[in-house]
Amino acid sequence: MKIEADRDICIGAGMCVMNAEEVFDQGDDGIVVVLEADVPPEHADAAARAVAGCPSGALRRIED
């Protein structure tokens, strides 16, 4: 699975980091930063929860 983030849509809620801190972080401006665009299998469930829980819809899951 791959993850993409639209930083223009992100509102900085931080739900992604709370769900998958191994995959996401927030920059100094509070906007999402994707740490692992190619999500390792052990973090796939957490990343999927982060995508589903993103309040702005800034995250997108891409299946391999």
Task: Record the pTM.
Answer: 0.92
Helix (H) or strand (E) run with residue 59 in it = strand 59-62
Closest by CA position to 55, among listed 16, 8, 29, 1: 16
12-59, pLDDT tens digit by residue? 999 999 999 999 999 999 999 999 999 999 999 999 999 999 999 999
Q: Where are the chain's structural domains?
A: 2-62
pLDDT for the residue 47: 97
Angle formed at CA 35 by CA 33 and CA 15, multiple of 5 degrees: 55
Q: Which CATH architecture has domain 2-62?
A: 2-Layer Sandwich (3.30)
